[in-house]
Structure 1
Amino acid sequence: MRWIEVRKSKSVNGNISISGSKNSSLPILTACCLSKEPIVLKNIPHISDVQVIYDIINSIGGVVSKEAGEVMIDGSKIYNAFIDPEKSSKYRAAYYFVGALLAKQKRVSIGYPGGDNFGSRPIDQHIKGLEALGATFTFYKDYYVVEADNLVGADVYFDVITCGATINVLLAAVLAEGRTTLRNAARDPEVVDLAIFLNKMGANIKGAGTDTIIIDGVQELRGTEHTIIPDRLIAASLLMSAGVTGGTVVVNNVIPEHIHNCIAKLEEAGMEIIVGENYIKATCPGNLTGINIKTGMYPGFATDLQQPITALLIGADTHSNIVENVYPNRFNHCIELNKMGADIIMREGSVIIPGRRTLKGAWVHASDVRAGISLILAGLSAEGVTRITGVEHIERGYENIIDMFSGIGVDIKICEGSSIDEIESEFEEIYG
């Protein structure tokens, strides 16, 4: 068993360069399957979700080569679109292979979405959009099959704003016949990054970053080079560490516009934020004040930042309210934070964080990527030692997380050994 140990930090200080975005890398890596020529990508993070993508591409005949900070993907020899259900169940966004492979392979077999464990992530909008282009779905116990002899452009209205479905239908539409219009589309920076990448390959996409995206299908896509945008979620979480402990954190290689909503909330809570062209500096000059947050799709406050900011607000002078509008059941981290003394009140789709709480280290579990960062942030202010299991979830989204936090003065390490019960039993034998 592996776990992360975090000890209380008096203050954090340092400069950190932000790695490439996980949520941009995954669809762009998958989109490489659309081209018969090699693609060169830069700033791809070294995380476990990305390794799953590499494994899937290799398993269907593609070639992945890594050298000197670059990754080359050659999809010219992809010979089928059977995605091993065991591989695809390891992370949620494996469904992007449906959009990326359907036009060429005509038939895609894939397992159901896996990944984070915080409630249902339905694929109904994926189905709706792809069926509008001419696809048919057949569902089995452990996998489903998507088929289309010919994809034809269509007018697609998403019932809810969904980044995943926007990306999946966009991938399918670039090689479809005629025009596809996506309405009520996601506006996330990762959607824009994908559209820029696809246009470099020869696609004809307009409107990315707005709620209406227009795709005129082309017959083929060519090779290109592309640099992935920085990870806005990692950048924002690191800024919060300065608010948890005091001190100063500077994040470099960022696009500040991508987290403007989060910056506004940190300032509202009492942090001082200085924004440069490609850096953000965060300090916490005094006590924090409780705030109200409602999550939403971009440009609203990101659901992926709801969990880390919860840890920040535990120490505020007044209570805070968070309403989770994207994934109403995404509060597993609050159960764990309460083990440490947070006293968070959970309701249907929302929480109240009382504030003015002193945390104590405990054994806690990271049930998903962002819950893990929330627990690490909580550990920075907790008395004693915080031990976090579920390391594999954290590694899905954070590259070299120990080095990242150690670089700003956090006492953190990964441990490996006995089970929790055995460790606690040994502790009782020694100390009674």
Structure 2
Amino acid sequence: MDRIVIRGGNRLTGRLPISGAKNAALTLMPCALLTEEPVTLRNLPRLADVDSFGHLLNQLGASTEIEGARPTDFGRVMTIRAGRLTSTEAPYDIVRKMRASILVLGPLVGRAGEAKVSLPGGCAIGNRPIDLHLRALEAMGADIELAAGYVRASAPGGRLPGGRVTFSIVSVGATENAVMAAVTARGGTIIENAAREPEIVDLCNLLLAMGASISGVGTGTLEIEGRDRLHGATYRVMPDRIEAGSYACAAAITGGSVDLVGIKADDMRATIAGLADAGVTVIEKGDVLTIAADGPLRPLTLSTAPFPGFATDMQAQIMAMLCRAAGSSVLTETIFENRYMHVPELARMGADIQVRGRTALVRGVDRLVGAPVMATDLRASMSLIIAGLVAEGETQVSRVYHLDRGYERLEEKLQAVGADIERVGDG
């Protein structure tokens, strides 16, 4: 099994390209199930999760064609053709690897009138039930059955009637499934307390390009009028705000100066504000975000929250950065109850962190020391990389398959801005 080896102490300087967003890509790909015509996605990141989702679409009868991108290129262009669905079942052996697989539920019911989807897997960061997804589909007229580890959903008469969906709490995934199911319903659907994340906006924009009728995009209330059919489209995946924020933390902890190229600053305002409050210089110029840190980092008090709040997917990375701040920071995780599994690994490197319930007290230290550490989930993996970049000596990060799920060619990007980092195999 591969490991990432980092010899810390180098300042990161230079230009670093930001890839297409993982969380958006995995939401846009299932939209192709809603039409018989081809859907082409540009700027699709080269990630294990994207490959896994492609395999799932193949299982359902869709073809996936990657246009002639060179192995050294960042991003890909994929055309998905679902002219005829050969199956409406998403099996356990594929779904268990990736929670986002549940996002075929809405489009399958929307187009085929039925779906059988295994209960999902993914990162072990806490309880993430799919009851909100199922209640949303029920509110739109679907019949739901849970049996033998699978969700069975069907639309009476082969097509959902539509309805009013009111989420008790904000849920990104449930909003995405509800939107994809609603766009081909017989009637209208109103979704209240909808998630407002940029990835939801990206989803709606693709569906609009495919002929859907959606109003209220970017707000907490979406009004959707179902269409008899959607057509194909070509669409560019939004830039990855979490990848950009992760590399911003890496530049800051090393006292470096990095230009993040290809970003959309409005999608990451909370991250930018947190960096600025920590004493990092942040300069916006078009699609380039310059991150520079030439003095001590300041401590922060932050709580994660749904967009436009501070993203839970950035909590581990900013915690790693704050391990070197001059003072004590307080981080509160409000989204997932088990998202501090990286704390013991950071402690192996000399971090001083105390966790009480959902709150972590991070006391800044003068130095971190390289150590063998183990990744526990995708964003936790990145926090260990960030700490390793400034740690004295050598850090070895194992179980890096987590990183491959969400960071495109991480070692190459960091090497290009001065990091001493490489991937090595156990052999």
> What range describes the TM-score normalised by the shorter chain of this pair?
over 0.9
Q: Partner residue of 1:429? A: none
Q: Partner residue of 1:130? A: 137
**Match for 2:423: what amino acid?**
I
Q: Is the 8 A contact 1:19 1:43 kept in 2?
A: yes
**2 CA distance for matches of 1:248 and 1:15?**
9
**2 CA distance for matches of 1:190 and 1:378?**
28
Matched, 1:139 2:146: yes
**1 CA distance for matches of 2:35 and 2:285?**
37
Q: Partner residue of 1:163? A: 172
**Match for 1:106: what amino acid?**
G
Kindly provide the CA deviation profile for residues 93-152 of structure 1, in whole angstroms up to 9, marking residues without a partner as x.
111100011122222111111111111111111111011111122222332212223311
Which runs of structure 2 are paired with 1:287-366 in the superposition (5 Å)?
Answer: 287-366=296-375
Kindly provide the CA deviation profile for residues 167-199 of structure 1, in whole angstroms up to 9, marking residues without a partner as x.
000000001111111111100010001101001
Q: Is the 8 A contact 2:113 2:160 kept in 1?
A: no
**1 CA distance for matches of 2:344 and 2:155?**
45
Cα offset for 1:79?
2.0
Cα offset for 1:238?
0.8
Q: Is the 8 A contact 1:4 1:415 kept in 2?
A: yes
Q: Partner residue of 2:39? A: 39
Structure 2: any 5+ residue segments left out of the alignment? 69-75
Q: Partner residue of 1:276? A: 285
Q: Partner residue of 1:425? A: none
**1 CA distance for matches of 2:248 and 2:281?**
10
Any idea what SS the aligned residue of 1:53 has?
Answer: helix
Q: Partner residue of 1:421? A: none
Matched, 1:112 2:119: yes
**2 CA distance for matches of 1:15 and 1:41?**
25
Aligned length: 418
**2 CA distance for matches of 1:220 and 1:368?**
39
Any idea what SS the aligned residue of 1:182 has?
Answer: strand
The runs of 4+ residues in structure 1 deviating greater than 3 Å are none
Any idea what SS the aligned residue of 1:120 has?
Answer: coil
Any idea what SS the aligned residue of 1:344 has?
Answer: strand
Any idea what SS the aligned residue of 2:58 has?
Answer: helix
Q: Is the 8 A contact 1:9 1:409 kept in 2?
A: no
Q: Is the 8 A contact 2:6 2:422 kept in 1?
A: yes
**2 CA distance for matches of 1:187 and 1:417?**
43
Matched, 1:235 2:244: yes
Q: Is the 8 A contact 1:111 1:142 kept in 2?
A: yes
Cα offset for 1:14?
1.1
Cα offset for 1:9?
2.6
How large is the Cα RMSD of the aligned pairs?
A: 1.0
Q: Is the 8 A contact 2:375 2:397 kept in 1?
A: yes
Q: Partner residue of 2:73? A: none
Matched, 1:95 2:84: no
Q: Is the 8 A contact 1:341 1:357 kept in 2?
A: no
Q: Is the 8 A contact 2:280 2:293 kept in 1?
A: yes
**Match for 2:141: what amino acid?**
G
Q: Is the 8 A contact 2:127 2:337 kept in 1?
A: no
Cα offset for 1:357?
4.2
Give the TM-score, by structure 1 length: 0.95
**2 CA distance for matches of 1:63 and 1:317?**
53
Q: Is the 8 A contact 1:130 1:172 kept in 2?
A: yes
Identity of aligned residues (%): 36
**1 CA distance for matches of 2:88 and 2:145?**
15
Q: Is the 8 A contact 1:328 1:350 kept in 2?
A: no
Q: Partner residue of 1:245? A: 254
Kindly provide the CA deviation profile for residues 249-273 of structure 1, in whole angstroms up to 9, marking residues without a partner as x.
1101110111111111111111111
Any idea what SS the aligned residue of 1:332 has?
Answer: coil
Matched, 1:21 2:21: yes
Kindly provide the CA deviation profile for residues 248-297 of structure 1, in whole angstroms up to 9, marking residues without a partner as x.
01101110111111111111111111011211001002001111001000
Equivalent of residue 192 in structure 2, options 175, 179, 183 = 183
Cα offset for 1:240?
1.1
Structure 1: any 5+ residue segments left out of the alignment? 419-432
Q: Partner residue of 1:11? A: 11
**1 CA distance for matches of 2:286 and 2:20?**
17
Give the TM-score, by structure 2 length: 0.96
**2 CA distance for matches of 1:208 and 1:365?**
40
Q: Partner residue of 2:412? A: 403
**Match for 1:251: what amino acid?**
L
